[in-house]
């Protein structure tokens, strides 16, 4: 068995301190200097350990303030049951789901990133912004871009209060998604929508969902509460 690197051992010790309550959730982590002294390693080793724990969504850096421990309790896991819609995930966790539609429109002037992800140039696209709930808890705010050809022609704002995956499935079979996840801090607008303190961490998830033919169906940017949500993936060696 490969011997762990020193920074991985330090990361494991920090994680143990989080798990046993030595470092409380949402507490500021001790400084790199103090951690280096505590574990008798260099500050560079501590920095690598912190970066590893950030990648695992256990810590988050706040510019000018330090590194904080992310709250881990009462989290819902995404990905453990395959590709599910938000509505299907809620049912899997024994929760009800609801949506508040903030914006629903057809747009043609698209950001370059959306054009690239959906592989379109001059095409009408639905832009949908929704606040999603599990029971009465706001969980995520999402901005979705969907090709108009993949939704019913007579679709209304009332329709998109429910599962968009179900609406798409009436037109074409959904096959798979690609996701990119990053940690960001709550802005004033997101704080008001998601009912979390200004400056708390969020998980920003960029998702492209495809048909079996490889055609991109939708592009979604969703902000998830980091104290309520985690993402689970199984990685295979090539």
Domain residue limits, the chain: 6-69, 76-231
The second-level CATH assignment, the architecture, of 6-69 is Orthogonal Bundle (1.10)
pLDDT confidence band for 90 (50 / 70 / 90): low
Query: What pTM was estimated for this model as a whole?
Result: 0.63
Please write the tens of the pLDDT for every residue from 223-235: 998 877 777 665 5
pLDDT of residue 7: 92
pLDDT confidence band for 83 (50 / 70 / 90): very low
Q: Which positions ≥6 away from 212 have C-beta within 8 Å?
A: 173, 175
Please write the tens of the pLDDT for every residue from 15-39: 888 877 788 766 788 999 999 999 9
**pLDDT, the chain, mean:** 83
Please write the tens of the pLDDT for every residue from 121-172: 888 899 999 998 877 888 899 999 999 989 988 899 999 888 888 888 888 8
Domains 6-69 and 76-231 share a fold: no
Across 195-215, average pLDDT: 90
State in words which class domain 76-231 has: alpha beta
Measured CA to CA, the distance from residue 59 to residue 70 in angstroms comes to: 5
């Amino acid at each position: 068995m490969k011997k762990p690197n020193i920074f991985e051992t330090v990361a494991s010790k920090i994680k143990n301190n989080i798990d046993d309550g030595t470092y409380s959730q949402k507490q500021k982590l001790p400084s790199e200097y103090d951690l280096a002294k505590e574990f008798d390693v260099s500050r560079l080793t501590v920095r690598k350990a912190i970066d590893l724990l950030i990648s695992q969504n256990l810590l988050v850096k706040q510019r000018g303030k330090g590194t904080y421990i992310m709250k881990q309790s009462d989290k819902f896991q995404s990905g453990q049951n395959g590709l599910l819609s938000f509505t299907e995930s809620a049912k899997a966790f024994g929760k009800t789901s609801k949506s508040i539609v903030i914006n629903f429109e057809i747009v043609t002037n698209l950001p370059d990133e959306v054009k690239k992800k959906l592989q379109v140039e001059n095409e009408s696209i639905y832009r949908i912004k929704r606040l999603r709930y599990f029971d009465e808890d706001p969980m995520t705010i999402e901005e979705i871009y969907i090709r108009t050809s993949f939704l019913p022609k007579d679709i209304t704002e009332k329709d998109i209060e429910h599962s968009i995956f179900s609406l798409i499935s009436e037109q074409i079979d959904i096959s798979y998604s690609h996701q990119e996840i990053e940690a960001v801090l709550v802005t004033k607008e997101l704080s008001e929508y998601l009912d979390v303190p200004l400056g708390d961490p969020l998980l920003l998830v960029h998702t492209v969902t495809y048909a079996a033919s490889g055609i991109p169906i939708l592009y979604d940017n969703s902000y998830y509460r980091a104290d309520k949500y985690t993402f689970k993936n199984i990685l295979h060696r090539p």
